[in-house]
Structure 1
Amino acid sequence: MRRPLQYLALLGYMVFLAFPLLWLLSTALKTSQEMASLTPTWIPRHPVLTNFADAFTEQDIVGSALRSLVVAVASSVLTVVLALPAAYSMARHRSLVNKIAIGWVLVSQVFPFILIIIPLFMVLRSLDLVNTLPGLTVVHVTFTLPFALWMLQGYVRSVPRELEEAAAVDGAGRIRALVRIVAPLLAPGVVATLLFAFISSWNEFLFALVVLKDPDVATLPLTLVKFTGAEGVVRLGPLAAASLLATIPSLAFFAIIQRRLRSGLLAGAVKG
């Protein structure tokens, strides 16, 4: 009796997670008349693909998606590159300074990110990075780095020190021990941090709205907003189609990186 209830709860949870995506797909395939109907329908009566064509013709979906992809990949890689050595130092060399740093990382997550928009904008303007993709990348790294640092230092602490000490006894230097022993065990944490940073950057809207002013450098979230007219009328069909297409890169990235996560877990089990 317990197992069927577990499967039922899991099925309900999967339906709960999939419902927004399925409703988005249903809306993208409906005609404007069916969407305006007072009686909502789960399955489109006469599915059409015109909304997808309108999404591509009305806005620069492909170009903005490529720009978002560049920013998301660059910011996620930079976040991990900067956070990993700092996380290792904080986890392995415990001191008062490190405790204060960890406390500050936690406190920084309490403040709303909107409070740092003006200082960040002033810094970017002084560096001539306003209205540029590198400037937006710097901003995304800034607001994802603290949480990424917190995630990775937890993974580093879970790796026993005895493994590094045993490698040192066998003649391995610190760098070789880090590369051959610690790095494979940290692979799941690195992959999870990459996934977090990528999704955070891909979906980010507020900082992109402040930093990017030129439509030629607009990212995908800014382009999706353009389906709302100046008078507030939403082009719901093309917006649903474009939003559905915007989820594909995140799903593809997760599908690719999930294999690395699973192989990292297996490598860590073998190394341990």
Structure 2
Amino acid sequence: MRTSRTAVGRAGQYLALVCYLVFLAFPLVWLISTAFKSPQELGSVDATWLPRDPSLDSFGAAFGQQPLARSALNSLIVASCAAAISVAVAVPAAYVTVRYRSAVGKAATGWILVSQMFPFVLVIIPLFLVLKSLHLINSLTGLILVYVVWNLPFALWMLQGYARAVPASLEEAAAIDGCGRLRTVRSVVLPLLAPGLVATVMFSFVTAWNEFFFALVLLKSPEKQTMSVILTHFIGAEGAADLGPLAAAALLATLPSLLFFALLQRRLVSGFMSGAVKG
């Protein structure tokens, strides 16, 4: 009797997992199907789920209508720089707040996390004025700084959890062997933080790549706009969307995040295994 209940429970879990995967995959499958449909099929009243005659016409139209290559390069520059700077700043900050606890450090960490609850609309006007005074409006540099500040609280909170998991006894052993503080951090702490570093870089990159509101407000020139903003150009003034080119451009905008996640996922798993062995 107990065995049958276990089998039924396991079957239910697998069914729920399959339903969840279908729920997650449906938008991507629909996007791919729409991107490869011909203009005639998109305008047909008896359209099917899968394209009858796959075509690249939508991709050609998308590149012909908007500067997708340039906007993709802008997004790549902004997301990569924002992720690198966020992690570079968050690593020492997380280590210091974990190893050297004080009331000031706790208050600063609490305030940083509370700031994440501020809505975008609340900060965009003062942020715009500050960047305008620094002549960073319509600049990728200004957008990178905004993303660094916006990603830093979560990156700091995330890395603090990994830093707490590093045994202090390992640092003490390294100090007994004659290692200084910087060498201990570089040779002992950072290798054990590898899973956290990978996860934080992944989060920061994807967040900056997909962000829309700040990029829309701060970037005015078409040659400096990111992919998320360029996608809105496929929608007309009256809300009518050029569905085929829009789906093709959206698919191209989605691929870098998926590829970046797939690339770092292996390193994330290997980093977990490495940290478990070293710990």
Within a 5 Å distance, the mapping from 1:164-179 to structure 2 comes to 164-179=171-186
SS at match of 1:229: coil
The residue number in structure 2 matching 1:183 is: 190
SS at match of 1:19: helix
- Count of aligned pairs between the two proteins: 272
Q: Does 2:14 align with 1:7?
A: yes
SS at match of 2:234: coil
Q: Does 2:37 align with 1:30?
A: yes
SS at match of 1:68: helix
Of residues 263, 268, 271, the one that matches 1:256 is 263
Q: Does 2:161 align with 1:154?
A: yes
* TM-score of the pair, normalised by structure 2: 0.92
The residue number in structure 2 matching 1:62 is: 69
SS at match of 1:226: helix
Q: Deviations over 1:99-154 (max 9, x none)?
A: 11121122111111221111111111111111111111011111111111111111
* TM-score of the pair, normalised by structure 1: 0.95
**How much does 1:10 deviate?**
2.4
* Structure 1 gaps, min length 5: none
**How much does 1:262 deviate?**
2.1
| Contact 2:82-2:147 within 8 A present in 1 as well | yes
**How much does 1:37 deviate?**
4.8
Code of the aligned partner of 2:200? T
SS at match of 1:263: helix
Q: Does 2:214 align with 1:207?
A: yes
| Contact 2:67-2:223 within 8 A present in 1 as well | no
Q: Does 2:133 align with 1:126?
A: yes
Of residues 55, 60, 63, the one that matches 1:48 is 55
The residue number in structure 2 matching 1:192 is: 199
The residue number in structure 1 matching 2:3 is: none
Of residues 249, 255, 262, the one that matches 1:242 is 249
**How much does 1:36 deviate?**
4.2
Code of the aligned partner of 1:254? F
Code of the aligned partner of 1:178? V
Moved more, 125-134 or 255-264: 255-264
Code of the aligned partner of 1:164? E
Distance (whole Å) between structure 1 residues aligned to residue 186 and residue 274 of structure 2 = 13
Moved more, 70-79 or 141-150: 141-150
Code of the aligned partner of 1:115? L
Distance (whole Å) between structure 1 residues aligned to residue 264 and residue 108 of structure 2 = 30
* Structure 2 gaps, min length 5: 1-6
Distance (whole Å) between structure 2 residues aligned to residue 114 and residue 81 of structure 1 = 28
Moved more, 63-72 or 33-42: 33-42
Of residues 58, 74, 79, the one that matches 1:72 is 79
| Contact 1:132-1:211 within 8 A present in 2 as well | yes
| Contact 1:181-1:271 within 8 A present in 2 as well | no
SS at match of 2:118: coil
Q: Deviations over 1:137-184 (max 9, x none)?
A: 011111111111111111111112111112212222222211111111
| Contact 2:39-2:57 within 8 A present in 1 as well | no
Of residues 6, 22, 27, the one that matches 1:20 is 27
Distance (whole Å) between structure 2 residues aligned to residue 113 and residue 232 of structure 1 = 24
Identity fraction in percent: 59
